[in-house]
A = this chain, B = another copy of it.
Amino acid sequence: MTEELIVNRRIVLNSRPVGAPTADNFRLEESTVPKIPSGKILLRSLYLSLDPYMRGRMSDAPSYAPPVALGETMVGGTVSRVVASEHPDYRVGDLVLGYSGWQDYEITDGTGLTSLDAGMPRPSLALGILGMPGFTAYMGLLDIGRPEAGETVVVAAASGAVGSVVGQIAKLKGCRAVGIAGGPEKCSFVVDELGFDSCIDHHSDDFPQQLAAACPRGIDVYFESVGGAVFNAVLPLLNVRARIPLCGLIAHYNDTELPAGPDHLPLLTKTLLTKRIKMQGFIIFDDYGSRFDEFFKQMNTWFNEGKIKYREDIVDGFENAPQAFIGLLEGRNFGKMVVRVAEE
Interface, chain A (partner B; CB < 8 A): 56, 62-64, 224, 227-228, 231, 240, 246-249, 252, 255, 257-270, 272-283, 286-287
Contacts and interface: CB of A to CB of B under 8 A. Distances in A.
A228 B87 CA distance: 58
B266 A263 contact: no
Most B-side CB within 10 Å, residue of A248, A265, A281: A265
A266 B252 contact: yes
B258 A260 contact: no
A265 B264 CA distance: 5
Nearest to A243: B280
Given A246-B269, A264-B265, A266-B255, A279 B276 contact: no
B266 A249 contact: yes
A281 B273 CA distance: 4
Contacts of A56: 274
A277 B275 contact: no
Given A64-B240, A64-B274, A224-B269, 11 more contacts: A228-B266, A246-B273, A257-B262, A258-B266, A259-B263, A261-B262, A263-B265, A265-B267, A272-B279, A277-B281, A279-B279
Contacts of A228: 266
B286 A282 contact: no
A231 B227 CA distance: 20
